[in-house]
Chain A
Amino acid sequence: MKANDVFGDDLVATLPQITTIGVDIGSRQAKAALIGGGSVHTAITASGVDSQETADRLVNRLLRQAGVTRDDLGFVVGTGYGRIALSYEDVPTTIVTEISCHAMGAHALNRGTRTIIDIGGQDAKAIRVDPENGRVIEFIMNDKCAAGTGRFLERIAELLGYTLEELGERSLESGKKIDISSQCVVFAESEVISLKAKGERPQDIAAAIHLASARRVRNLVNRLGLDPEIVFCGGVSNNLGMKQALESLVGHPFTTPKLDMVYAGAVGAAVLAQRHYQAGHA
């Protein structure tokens, strides 16, 4: 994709003419983005057990896609839970938290972003962003409760006999409101099994699960203070059921940038890599 189409001319004009990569090793999926030659390239794969090996694979894939060599790489920023393990001897590299990277990524992809809801494989975050520069103003992270995270939704999809993609889509077909009372993933799973046994339709259970999970995330946003425009990032952002439940509870539609927001962290990391290069950190 052309960088101007994805980021807009104003941001692209501020970037140095150098190739950088952002690598976001999440708990479930590893994502990477390359910015260079006026284009943006992305790649995704399962995180695997060896963060460095996964990152190497993504970097090589991006270099091939972009038609550049490793020598052309000016800077790499690693982020995500696997960032600690990342290192490259031949390329200047630094690590930045996924919170800062998501903020910068959402800003780069949608300049008016003020609030980010990021739901990944194992946690959920609400981040307030400075629309002037994409810096974090404030954030709240829920890493104690797995409700609504990608891993939880995978488990619920399995219980309901759906693929992860189907879970969100089918929940939109719900015609009946069911209450999920449990706040805990483990008990919510038991509740889903009970509801199935009672003969409730999987679509209705799926909608109820999304609503219950969205309530937890809405609480994060409420604590932070809602400030539109809101952008939904992370792997769960592609779940239509969760998006609809969150929009309904938060009371504001989410802005949808031109790029799949599962890449927000990686894109933010690549933009920050450009900034690091610009600042002479290479």
Chain B
Amino acid sequence: MASDAIFAEQGLNLLELAHVRTHKGPIHTSEALDSQLSYIEETRKAHGYSRAVDRLFDLVLSYVYDHEASWQEGKNVIWTSAPLFPVFYANDVLPIPISELGRLGSADALTAAEDTFHLPKESCSMVASILGEFYLRSGRTPPRLVVYNGQCEPLNLGWELLKDQGFDVFRIEAVNRPNVADDAARVAQLQSFFIDDIKQVSLWLTGKQIDENRLAAEIKRANRIIGKLRRILRLRLHNPLYLRSLATMYTLAGLSTYFGKPEAYEDVLDELIEEFEANAAAPIPTGKLVRLAWVGGRGQEFGVYKTIDDAGGAVTAWHNADDWTRDYREDLPPLEAYADFIITGRTLGSPVRQQQRIEEFLPEFGAQGILFYGYIGCSFGSVHREIQADYFHRQGVPSIFLEGSFQVGPASGQILTRVRAFIEMLTR
């Protein structure tokens, strides 16, 4: 069996895999991790002039490991896919985003998903990678998960499979408000439902009611950080290569998580703003830079980001999971403000509404074309992309689909060819 050979090479056979909970020593997921790390290391070196970027990647790289260590020391640590980070911080819970498993996920994880959960190869790589990676990390990582069931049904089934593996899963029921013209009574009903969810998860996490004053403070912090990110994105417009595309993606990714260290992350943002404002020049001549919009998942093939930069492009307009375009309302009580933010986000997240925001920001960020990024096998994302690409095609805005895998590893040559050709095309 092929998987036997894969694991044998790494000193872990299928028999051992079946007893991975008792396996001691380093986790055998380093094969592909190395290649992602090499992109991060290269990006870090390319930013040798920026202390802020250096500190940013310290946060990125230490996130999962520091929190797993904190859990082993007895702290309250969870994995999560729910957009509730301020709620977690208000509850003194240390959250790790499940999306980080994409960076850790490897061929081993997919093999484990195939062998253990019987997921065929053509399944969504995100689901397979998550299941496989949790399986491999079982026993050495926090076994509690707070998940958001508004993502997709295959993932929802995945959480059930993880329960069978001994993981304790709390599901936040999604509140959907697809119709922006919903009446006030309907919106109030949705808010009430979601507020109840927040209260329930807080009880599940800590055994106590959420401290609303703490949540109010976290909402203030979130707004402060969103404002700083907006400032960075706009400062970056004058010098996009000062903060290259992969580093920018990670700077934005921190918006959702603060990389588990809110104060340190905010310090990095402050330092980055100082560096931009000091008009520190990038050591790379910009020439005729092709500015692009990125729409969709953050992507795990970091080679794509590097290719964009190397080919003479820069992503300047960002529309991924990290929404820097909206603030929380501070004129509402904190639980209500939080629910309002999430429910409004669900409305804005519809493909047609999202495309309005994409269009709105294209001119400000000088984006000449759009990179739509989605994961292989994700039918949800592909429908969104079709609708949006068709719309922008009719508007005369060039776009390209990039389909990537949640399984980390170097980007395939053909994806990179397409990225490079797209930039060559726009360089005309």
Contact = CB atoms under 8 A, between A and B. Distances in A.
Interface residues of B, number: 13
A141 B424 contact: no
B413 interface: yes
Nearest to A123: B414
A136 B424 contact: yes
A97 B424 contact: yes
A84 B413 contact: yes
A99 B398 contact: no
B417 A141 contact: yes
B189 to A, nearest CB: 43
A136 B414 contact: no
Contacts of A123: 414
Contact of B417 (A99, A130, A138): A99
A225 to B, nearest CB: 10
Contacts of B398: 138
Interface string A69-103: 00000000000010010000000000011111000
B413 A136 contact: no
Contacts of A100: 421, 424-425
A130 B428 CA distance: 10
B403 interface: yes
Interface string B397-423: 010000100000000111101101100
A96 B420 CA distance: 8
Interface string B167-187: 000000000000000000000
B414 A139 contact: no
State the majority secondary structure of interface residues on B.
helix
Contacts of A84: 413
A258 interface: no
A98 B428 contact: no
A144 interface: yes
A139 B413 contact: no
Contact of B414 (A96, A137, A143): A143
Contacts of B403: 144
Given A135-B428, A138-B398, A144-B403, A81 B421 contact: no
Contact of B413 (A81, A99, A130, A135): A81
A144 B122 CA distance: 12
Contact of A81 (B417, B425, B428): B417
Contacts of B418: 99, 141, 143
A135 B414 contact: no
A138 B396 CA distance: 11
A139 B417 CA distance: 12
- Residue of A96, A97, A138 with highest tally of chain B CB at under 10 A: A97
Contact of A137 (B412, B420, B425): B425
Nearest to A83: B417
B421 A99 contact: yes
Contacts of B415: 143
Contact of B424 (A81, A99, A130, A138): A99
A96 B424 contact: yes
B371 to A, nearest CB: 14
A97 B414 contact: no
Contacts of A96: 424
Interface in B373-405: 398, 403
Interface string A41-52: 000000000000
B421 A136 contact: yes
A135 B403 CA distance: 25
Interface string B343-385: 0000000000000000000000000000000000000000000
A6 to B, nearest CB: 24
A273 B94 CA distance: 56
A136 B425 contact: yes
A99 B398 CA distance: 16
Interface in A90-134: 96-100, 123, 130
Contacts of A97: 417, 420-421, 424
Contacts of B420: 97
A238 to B, nearest CB: 23
Contacts of A141: 414, 417-418, 421
Contacts of B417: 81, 97-99, 141, 143
A243 B398 CA distance: 29
Interface in A135-154: 135-139, 141, 143-144
A137 B424 CA distance: 10
Contact of B425 (A98, A135, A143, A144): A135
A137 B417 CA distance: 16
A138 B414 contact: no
Contacts of B414: 81, 123, 141, 143
A143 B420 CA distance: 15
A120 B403 CA distance: 21
A100 B427 CA distance: 11
A272 to B, nearest CB: 10
- Residue of B412, B420, B421, B428 with highest tally of chain A CB at under 10 A: B421
Nearest to B393: A138
9 contacts: A97-B420, A97-B424, A98-B417, A99-B421, A99-B425, A100-B425, A135-B425, A139-B421, A143-B418
Interface of A: 81, 84, 96-100, 123, 130, 135-139, 141, 143-144
Interface of B: 398, 403, 412-415, 417-418, 420-421, 424-425, 428
Interchain residue pairs A-B with the least CB separation, the first 5: A99-B421, A143-B414, A97-B421, A136-B425, A100-B424
